[in-house]
């Protein structure tokens, strides 16, 4: 569970920044935390009267924890351009150049320490799939650990993109789909290369004629097999075979290699959900349409045979 000092850490830079805005009566409007990137965004309403614009020549705020002023909007919801500048580690505003509006919304972006995010939300995907002949399924579970903590930070806090990494096994999709003839090509190639590094000339000859015989019967080359694995594990291709229950949506998809080579054992699939005080938990499933995916592998390979 988050501790009171965790709240201080979340607010550390925000409170410091707020002090600099005191003459403009700052009010927190809402706060968003992106769980995936650990970035936070806070909206602060400011009241900058014309007399203040004349009186205060410059506001300088040190960039605590590298926060960024991302946007300023006036009361007509128009973006106020080029009024903030960053100079020598400070954010600087000259109120005199602001437009006629007196009410503004300023958006500040900063970071939330990772360990606090982990204390705010609990996430867990299933360790093992449930299976049918067509599908592999993984349950997903995420929950805010303590709503009081979130409420203390701000009532309109949103925690976006709470991400769970699900490890979807794909190796067996390839190993069970690749035809037997490919294994023969591989074995023959391996025998030939092994022989090539040895000194037994007659074995080199035998291995070579065996390789010719096997490859003569098959149009598929070893390189084709590698290419197939590579192309079919590209994130955008693989995404077509995944389904996610709401409120989850698909995040990043990448190969998860045991080695750093070309052979992914699993795909790492990110499932993301937005949590907030109204929706403090999210459950659902990630479904991998393995039968369709294996059909895709088969089609890809039969394309190579033509």
Instruction: List the one residue from 26, 113, 169, 235 that touches other proteins (CB under 8 A).
Output: 169
Among candidate residues 37, 289, 240, 268, the one with its CA nearest the CA of residue 166: 268
**262 near other proteins, rule: CB under 8 A:** yes
Beta strands in 145-263 (DSSP E): 158-169, 242-244, 249-256
The strand pairing partners of 39, in sequence order, are: 34, 111
C-beta closer to other proteins: residue 148 or 292: 148
Residues 71, 107: contact at Cβ < 8 Å?
yes
Each residue 145-164 as x (binds other proteins by CB under 8 A) or -, in order, gives xxxx--x---x---------
**115 near other proteins, rule: CB under 8 A:** no
Instruction: List the one residue from 15, 124, 249, 302 that touches other proteins (CB under 8 A).
Output: 124
Residues 165, 270: contact at Cβ < 8 Å?
yes
Burial readout 66-97 (b: 16 or more C-beta within 10 A, e: otherwise): ebbbebbbbeeeeebeebbeeeeeebebebee
Backbone φ, ψ for residue 70 (5° rounding): -95, -30
Backbone φ, ψ for residue 248 (5° rounding): -80, 150
- From the list 18-26, 71-79, 97-105, 180-188, the region that binds other proteins by CB under 8 A is 180-188
C-beta closer to other proteins: residue 77 or 259: 259
**165 near other proteins, rule: CB under 8 A:** no
**94 near other proteins, rule: CB under 8 A:** no
Task: Using CB under 8 A, count the residues that bind other proteins.
Answer: 57
- From the list 24-32, 48-56, 165-173, 295-303, the region that binds other proteins by CB under 8 A is 165-173
**190 near other proteins, rule: CB under 8 A:** yes
How many other C-beta atoms can be found within 10 angstroms of the C-beta atom of residue 233? Answer: 22
In whole angstroms, the minimum distance from the beta carbon of 261 to other proteins comes to: 4
Instruction: List the one residue from 81, 128, 202, 236 that touches other proteins (CB under 8 A).
Output: 128
């Amino acid at each position: 569970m988050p501790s009171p000092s965790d709240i201080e850490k979340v607010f550390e830079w925000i409170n410091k920044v707020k002090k600099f805005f005191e003459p403009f009566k700052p009010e927190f409007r809402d706060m968003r935390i992106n769980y995936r990137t650990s970035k936070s965004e806070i909206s602060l309403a400011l009241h900058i009267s014309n007399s203040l614009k004349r009186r205060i020549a410059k506001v300088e705020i040190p960039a605590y924890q590298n926060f960024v002023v991302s946007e300023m909007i006036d009361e007509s919801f128009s973006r106020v351009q080029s009024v903030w500048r960053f100079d020598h580690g400070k954010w600087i505003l000259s109120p005199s150049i602001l437009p006629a509006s007196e009410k503004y919304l300023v958006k500040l972006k900063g970071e939330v320490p990772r360990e606090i995010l982990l204390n705010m939300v609990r996430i867990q995907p299933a360790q093992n799939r449930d299976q049918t002949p067509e599908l592999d399924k993984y349950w997903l579970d995420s929950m805010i650990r303590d709503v009081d903590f979130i409420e203390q930070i701000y009532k309109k806090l949103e925690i976006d993109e709470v991400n769970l990494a699900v490890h979807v096994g794909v190796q067996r999709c390839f190993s069970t789909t690749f035809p037997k003839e490919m294994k023969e090509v591989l074995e023959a190639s391996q025998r030939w290369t092994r022989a090539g590094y040895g000194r037994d000339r007659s074995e080199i000859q035998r291995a070579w004629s065996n390789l010719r015989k096997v490859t003569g019967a098959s149009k598929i080359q070893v390189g084709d097999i590698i290419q197939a694995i590579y192309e079919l594990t590209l994130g955008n291709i693989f995404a077509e075979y995944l389904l996610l229950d709401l409120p989850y949506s698909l995040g990043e998809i990448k190969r998860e290699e045991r080695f750093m080579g070309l052979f992914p054992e699993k795909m790492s699939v990110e499932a993301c959900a937005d949590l907030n005080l109204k929706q403090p938990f999210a459950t659902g499933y990630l479904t991998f349409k393995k039968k369709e995916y294996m059909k895709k592998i088969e089609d890809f390979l039969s394309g190579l045979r033509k």
